């Protein structure tokens, strides 16, 4: 059996039809991880023993005829999602030995459906970055070219899906951290509407922007996972008390008459011509299927990176103040006073990028600069939301490139943080406006590297972005990763 | 951004840097602030009244006590603990 070709729903049929056992399926993935992850470095922690036990339990549920959509399906989990009894490091020396005393709500939900967790995937430290090269442990590579980055921050999850080292994975997205690595690794990643999925147990980066979501082989598989993890949670006051629809419901419905907007600023200078052409070609295809392309404008896009980094870093500097080396996390061996101990623990535990974000956040919030930076960024947040609301009055979804370029070399851009920040231009506004968006492959460049396009939806309308992505995927000539 | 500002911000963030690290941080922060400064050119004002901060007030839970974690689970990640968190002596 070639697990690389299987989608979650194929596995479901095989498991329910007794063509394969949950243990055999888990073993096939564990073998692939053992054989190839030494090169790819997508997992920080692999949990074979726990996976075998979970597979046994899943099999008994399958045998009893009570299997859910994900029972026995082998999944990987980003290492900033708390897993009771399994290390959750955030790819940081600060949390190198941290074993959560509880499960994130998404894990409780997935475990209730008896998934098989294969392990925890690498990421940029504390989800701060777009390359997975700020990981303190595993600097994940791209499955299409080991000399290139997988994107980030959920680079381990996206690479593991791209290389078929799991059936699908969970990631988290604060400014593009699900969509951009999905784009770089040639897979599909869905950032849900803010409030759709509980953040309880997701290690906080920027609380008003963070959202957990699936990375999978296609939009249909993403929908299946989103069905399992969505819903109000009393542990998270920002999770929404509203009904959860079946996110697969619109799959297969005709897109004739669908209005697709293309804000011109997303296709301006700075976007690689091959990327622009691939997304425009996809737009033409939609038009041929009966969709209508709507021209529109988002004038505030040029300020979006600044607004995002000011808001996200301000929240990060507050959220990360909890790491004092005393309650949990790295504790320095040097420091006779309380304040010295805290300062030394933080300075030894955090990497360079995390420290930069703390400095930037403190700058944005400090006396004399607050109004000029944080206040202005919050005003821009309102303006960007208004511009999206206005565009959505005339369309159903918005189509943009997911990233300005394809995956770049592992040593490129790392020493230039400002350049790295500007590369987030295509994704950050979605988080600022709390919208759902999916990235799906729409082409390959001259070197065979995947190009992703993003379909952005109205708040709470994940079903339509899934519908639009799925219909494109069904005719797309997908090229699997070489690894 | 000058070294004094980086020192001030690192003090706020309870971080310490070597002289070499400070120089590098100042250089990186200068190029980052150049991007942030682009928002100064736009004349708009934040209206807090229009922002719900994504908190759905209808979803707030009842203020009632519930089960908490056992002490040993909470202390399991503290490097230095003796049935409580241990900090350096604060009062002589």
A103-112 confidence digits (pLDDT tens):
999 999 999 9
Q: Diameter of chain B by CA atoms? A: 56
Nearest to A344, CA basis, from A176, A416, A468, A336: A336
Q: Is A318 on the interface with B (CB under 8 A)?
A: no
Q: Is B92 on the interface with A (CB under 8 A)?
A: no
From the list B1, B40, B69, which residue is nearest A372 (CB)?
B40
Q: Is A102 on the interface with B (CB under 8 A)?
A: yes
At residue B57, the pLDDT reads 66
At residue B56, the pLDDT reads 67
Distance, in Å, from the CA atom of A411 to the CA atom of A461, rounded to the nearest integer, reads 38
In which residue ranges of chain A is pLDDT below 70?
A: 1
At residue B90, the pLDDT reads 82
Would you name the residues of A annotated as active-site residues?
Answer: 78, 153, 177
Tokens of A84: 């009771």
Q: Which of B5, B40, B46 to mutate to test the interface with A (most CBs of A within 10 A)?
A: B46
Helices (H), A350-375: 352-365
List residues bridging with A397 in a β-sheet: A260, A457
Distance, in Å, from the CA atom of A54 to the CA atom of A23, rounded to the nearest integer, reads 9
Instruction: Say if pTM beats, i.e. exceeds, 0.95.
Output: yes
Q: Is B69 on the interface with A (CB under 8 A)?
A: yes
From the list A194, A240, A362, which residue is nearest B9 (CB)?
A362
From the list B31, B39, B86, which residue is nearest A418 (CB)?
B31
Contact across the interface for B12 and A366, Cβ inside 8 Å = yes
Q: Which of B6, B73, B79 to mutate to test the interface with A (most CBs of A within 10 A)?
A: B79
In this structure, how many other beta carbons lie within 10 angstroms of the beta carbon of residue A281? 13
Distance, in Å, from the CA atom of A323 to the CA atom of A201, rounded to the nearest integer, reads 16
Domain boundaries, chain A: 1-483
Q: Is A231 on the interface with B (CB under 8 A)?
A: no
Q: Min CA distance, B40 vs chain A (Å)?
A: 7
Indicate if the pLDDT at residue B92 is higher than 70: no
Nearest to B55, CA basis, from A237, A267, A39: A237
Average pLDDT rounded to a whole number, residues B51-72: 79
We find that the CATH architecture of domain A1-483 is: Alpha-Beta Complex (3.90)
Indicate if the pLDDT at residue B67 is higher than 70: yes
Q: Which of residues 5-24 of B touch A (CB under 8 A)?
A: 5-6, 8-10, 12-17
From the list B12, B37, B53, which residue is nearest A362 (CB)?
B12
Contacts of A34 (CB under 8 A, 6+ apart): none
From the list B1, B55, B87, which residue is nearest A326 (CB)?
B87
Q: Which of residues 135-154 of A touch B (CB under 8 A)?
A: none
Q: Which of residues 426-455 of A touch B (CB under 8 A)?
A: 434
Indicate if the pLDDT at residue B47 is higher than 90: no
CB pairs under 8 A between A and B: 162
Contact across the interface for A376 and B42, Cβ inside 8 Å = yes
The share of chain A scoring above pLDDT 90, in percent, equals 95
What is the DSSP code (8-state) at residue A398?
Answer: E
Contact across the interface for A382 and B47, Cβ inside 8 Å = yes
Q: Is B3 on the interface with A (CB under 8 A)?
A: no
Q: Which of A363, A369, A435 to mutate to test the interface with B (most CBs of B within 10 A)?
A: A363
Q: Min CA distance, A237 vs chain B (Å)?
A: 6
Q: Is B54 on the interface with A (CB under 8 A)?
A: yes
Distance, in Å, from the CA atom of A255 to the CA atom of A250, rounded to the nearest integer, reads 10
Nearest to A345, CA basis, from A313, A321, A376: A321
Q: Min CA distance, B8 vs chain A (Å)?
A: 9
Q: Min CA distance, B73 vs chain A (Å)?
A: 6
Give the sign of the dihedral formed by CA A411, CA A412, CA A414, CA A415: positive
Give the three-state DSSP class for A2: coil
Indicate if the pLDDT at residue B58 is higher than 80: no
Given a contact cutoff of 8 angstroms between Cβ atoms, the answer to whether A60 and A151 are in contact is: no
At residue A464, the pLDDT reads 98
Q: Is A360 on the interface with B (CB under 8 A)?
A: yes
Residues of chain B positioned with their CB less than 8 A from the CB of A317: 13
Distance, in Å, from the CA atom of A183 to the CA atom of A275, rounded to the nearest integer, reads 11
Q: Is B35 on the interface with A (CB under 8 A)?
A: yes
Q: Is B36 on the interface with A (CB under 8 A)?
A: yes
Contact across the interface for B16 and A347, Cβ inside 8 Å = yes
Q: Is A309 on the interface with B (CB under 8 A)?
A: yes
Q: Token match 């930069």: residue?
A: A356
Tokens of A247: 């996110």
Please count the residues of chain A.
483
Q: Min CA distance, A208 vs chain B (Å)?
A: 7
Q: Is A385 on the interface with B (CB under 8 A)?
A: no
At residue B83, the pLDDT reads 87
């Amino acid at each position: 059996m070639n697990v690389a070709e299987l989608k979650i729903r194929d596995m479901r049929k095989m498991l329910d039809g007794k063509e394969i056992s949950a243990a055999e399926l888990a073993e096939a993935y564990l073998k692939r991880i053992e054989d190839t992850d030494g090169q790819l470095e997508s997992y920080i922690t692999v949990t074979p023993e726990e996976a075998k036990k979970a597979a046994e339990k899943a099999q008994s549920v399958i045998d009893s005829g009570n299997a859910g959509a994900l029972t026995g399906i082998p999944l990987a989990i980003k290492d900033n999602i708390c897993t009771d009894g399994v290390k959750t490091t955030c790819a940081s020396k600060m949390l190198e030995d941290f074993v959560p005393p509880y499960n994130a709500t998404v894990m409780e939900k997935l475990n209730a459906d008896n998934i098989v967790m294969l392990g925890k995937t690498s990421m940029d430290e504390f989800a701060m970055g777009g390359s997975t090269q700020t990981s303190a442990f595993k600097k994940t590579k791209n499955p299409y070219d080991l000399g290139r980055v997988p994107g980030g921050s959920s680079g381990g999850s996206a690479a593991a899906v791209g290389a078929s080292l799991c059936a699908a994975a969970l990631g988290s997205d604060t400014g593009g951290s699900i969509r951009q690595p999905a784009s770089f690794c040639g897979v599909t990643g869905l950032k849900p509407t803010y409030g759709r999925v509980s953040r309880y147990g997701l290690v906080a980066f920027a609380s008003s922007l963070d959202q957990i979501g699936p990375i999978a082989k296609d939009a249909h598989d993403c929908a299946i996972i989103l069905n399992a993890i969505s819903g109000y949670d009393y542990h998270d006051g920002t999770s929404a008390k509203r009904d959860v629809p079946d996110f697969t419901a619109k799959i297969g419905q005709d897109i004739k008459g669908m209005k697709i907007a293309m804000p011109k600023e997303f296709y301006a200078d700075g976007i690689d011509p091959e990327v622009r052409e691939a997304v425009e070609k996809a737009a033409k295809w939609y038009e041929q299927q009966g969709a209508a392309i709507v021209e529109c404008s988002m004038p505030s896009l040029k300020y979006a990176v600044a607004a995002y980094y000011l808001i996200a870093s301000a929240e990060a500097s507050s959220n990360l103040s909890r790491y004092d080396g005393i309650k949990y996390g790295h504790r320095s061996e040097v420091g006779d006073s309380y304040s010295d101990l805290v300062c030394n623990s933080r300075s030894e535990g955090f990497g360079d990028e995390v420290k930069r974000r703390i400095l930037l956040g403190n700058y944005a919030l400090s006396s004399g600069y607050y109004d000029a930076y944080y206040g202005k960024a919050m005003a821009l947040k309102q303006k960007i939301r208004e511009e999206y609301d206005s565009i959505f009055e005339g369309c159903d979804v918005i189509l943009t490139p997911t990233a300005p370029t394809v995956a770049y070399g592992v040593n490129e851009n790392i020493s230039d943080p400002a350049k790295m920040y500007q590369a987030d231009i295509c994704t950050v506004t979605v988080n600022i406006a709390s919208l759902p968006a999916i990235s799906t492959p729409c082409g390959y460049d001259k070197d065979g590297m995947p190009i992703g396009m993003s379909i952005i939806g109205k708040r709470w309308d994940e079903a339509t972005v899934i519908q639009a992505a799925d219909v494109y995927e069904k005719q797309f000539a997908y090229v699997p990763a070489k690894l | 951004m000058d070294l004094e500002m980086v020192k001030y911000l690192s003090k706020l963030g309870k971080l310490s840097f070597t002289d070499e690290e400070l120089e590098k941080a100042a250089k990186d922060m200068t190029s980052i602030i150049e991007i942030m400064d682009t928002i100064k050119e736009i004349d708009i004002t934040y209206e807090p009244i229009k922002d719900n901060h994504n908190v759905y007030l209808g979803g707030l839970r009842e203020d009632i006590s519930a089960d908490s974690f056992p002490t040993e689970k909470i202390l399991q990640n503290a490097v230095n603990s003796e049935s409580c968190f241990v900090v350096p002596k604060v009062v002589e």
